[in-house]
Amino acid sequence: MNRLALFTACSSLVSSWVLACPTHSMLTAEEVAGIDRSNAALVHTHSAGADSLAGNNVIGAFKLNLTGATGHSPNATINSFVSLTQSDVQEVWFDASYIYVKHTGVPSHDIGRADGNNPAYARNLNRTSRLPRTPGVNGTTATGNGGIGVMVNGALLFNPGDAMSYNNANTWFRNALTFEGATFDIGPGHSAPQGGTPGNSTPGQYHYHIGPTALLNQIDAGNTGSRHSPIIGFAFDGYPIYGPYGYANPNDPSSAIKRLDTSYKVRDDLTALGAARNSLTEGGATLASNLRGPAVSATYPGGAFLQDYKYVAGLGDLNEYNMRFMVTPEYPQGTPAYVMTLDANGAWTYPYVVGPKYYGAVDTSNIGPTGGAVTIPAAATRLRAGDANLDGAVNFDDLLLLAQNYERSGVTLWTDGDFTSDTNVNFDDLLALAQNYSGSGLQSDWAMAQSLVPEPTSAAVGLFTFFVQRRRRGPYDGRRG
């Protein structure tokens, strides 16, 4: 029997459970109305400022793999490898100081190109990245080669460069979008070869150099400015990275939504064909002839090299780090945050995600050949599907939070009950909670939770299937298929 038919067949039974709720049966109509009014204020609880420690809400920002799904590629050779590796994030742990993210580096969107123009396939990185929950401020550390952050799907973020320079002179560093864009998949990303001859059967480290639009389409589909963008990742200094839309007034969550613009532009002296790349900065000292770059041309257009850009304070919404201090759904008290930048046509704009330097102090455990080999402390708490209030247990308090937000869509957080990271609190989230529920009477607990929510929604119709599914499956730990 399909879900809809089962819902219809059981709706009357479920409704009787709700009407028989002992909480309401012992209260007067006035007392019930009072409970409903007070609980109405709890709906979408993140708006009330639930981030008591550096944004508790962000602990649940990661795209946990709750089904055991594996990677997929339109390229048969690459698919033969990535289909053996779980996608997205496998586990999230946290303590008072850090968030620990266990991830393979293989995202759940299609990876690799069907035409075979791939430098490598995405191997299982088997990483544990560590993110400070109270990031410091440094502001001087350049974003070097290799990973500079982790996205919420567990894929790595690299800086805009491709680690190569014109004539290998280490002066004009190449923009990966210009020189490697032909190898980008729908991510858009690709894998850096790690030994062997580059090709579809060579293992590599999957990463993005520019804004991960495929990820954004998974976790914020259809958003063209109707709502605040979600967190799409974290730089390795611990500061969050948001999608392109934020509040027009960075301190006012009631202000309009707007696309946040970069304050970088191609240098004025490098916009015309034939312009000479004789200086590393606009109006700067003339370089020796062996250090000059190629003239601006169709092959080397303005913006082809990282040194083609300049920062102009006030040109856009963001500073030189490609960030601003702003109130967000996850940080109602505000936070410095990086932003994925696009133009009005949806094209990527430099520096794409994180600026040339980190704003914060980098956690070096994430950097270099040994990066991502952190040991999770024994005292850390594991995040489990259903733990909406992040207290380490899945119980009635979490069930109530989910009930208060059931059928909410748009800007939804883990702490609202959106455990599947799909911007909806719905049956799939109920099912995820059920697999880890530690209460003694889920059926009566859900009826009670629902009775405390003003104007109970169609959540009641799904109860019977909810319980049946729970009886058929054991506790869910994110590893099962």
Query: Residue 39 has what pLDDT?
Result: 34
Residue labelled with tokens 């967190």: 231
Q: What is the pLDDT confidence band of residue 48, given thresholds at 50, 70 and 90? A: very low
pLDDT tens by residue, 329-351: 999 999 999 999 999 999 999 99
Lowest-confidence region among 202-211, 347-356, 454-463: 454-463
Task: Determine phi and psi for 250, rounding to 5 degrees.
Answer: -60, -15
C-alpha distances in angstroms, 395 versus 17, 41, 67, 339, 390? 19, 21, 21, 35, 11
pLDDT tens by residue, 163-209: 999 999 999 999 999 999 999 999 999 999 998 899 999 999 999 99
Q: What is the pLDDT confidence band of residue 478, given thresholds at 50, 70 and 90? A: very low
Lowest-confidence region among 130-139, 255-264, 450-459: 450-459
Lowest-confidence region among 28-42, 367-381, 409-423, 429-443: 28-42
Task: Determine phi and psi for 131, rounding to 5 degrees.
Answer: -120, 125
Q: What is the pLDDT confidence band of residue 460, given thresholds at 50, 70 and 90? A: very low
Q: Strands, E, within 262-379: which ranges?
A: 264-266, 309-311, 323-326, 335-339
pLDDT at 40 over 70: no
Distance from CA of residue 476 to its chain's centroid?
22
Query: Residue 459 has what pLDDT?
Result: 45
- Output the average pLDDT for the chain: 85
Residue labelled with tokens 């748009």: 410
pLDDT at 466 over 70: no
pLDDT at 446 over 60: yes
Query: Residue 55 has what pLDDT?
Result: 61
Q: How many CA atoms lie within 13 A of 335 on its CB side?
A: 28
- Enter the DSSP assignment of 293: B
% of the chain surpassing 90 pLDDT: 70
pLDDT at 8 over 50: no
List, in sequence order, every residue forming a beta bridge with 80; answer none if it has no partner. none
Task: Determine phi and psi for 166, rounding to 5 degrees.
Answer: -65, 125
Q: What is the pLDDT confidence band of residue 468, given thresholds at 50, 70 and 90? A: very low
Higher-confidence residue of 456 and 277: namely: 277
Higher-confidence residue of 422 and 19: namely: 422
% of the chain surpassing 70 pLDDT: 82
pLDDT at 12 over 80: no
Contact 360, 240 (CB under 8 A): no
Query: Which of 44, 46, 94, 90 is closest to 71 using CA atoms?
Result: 90
Q: What is the pLDDT confidence band of residue 451, given thresholds at 50, 70 and 90? A: confident
Side chain identity at residue 317, one-letter code:
D
Enumerate residues 6+ apart whose C-beta is below 8 A from 286: 278, 279
Higher-confidence residue of 451 and 322: namely: 322
Query: Which of 222, 158, 161 is closest to 187 using CA atoms?
Result: 158
Alpha carbon distance 413, 46 (integer Å)? 8
Query: Which of 352, 351, 356, 359 is closest to 324 using CA atoms?
Result: 359
Query: Residue 454 has what pLDDT?
Result: 66
pLDDT at 27 over 60: no
Enumerate residues 6+ apart whose C-beta is below 8 A from 329: 46, 47, 57, 228, 230, 253, 411, 413
Span 98-115, mean pLDDT? 98
List, in sequence order, every residue forming a beta bridge with 149; answer none if it has no partner. 157, 235
pLDDT at 38 over 70: no
pLDDT tens by residue, 254-298: 999 999 999 999 999 999 999 999 999 999 999 999 999 999 999
Q: What is the pLDDT confidence band of residue 57, given thresholds at 50, 70 and 90? A: confident
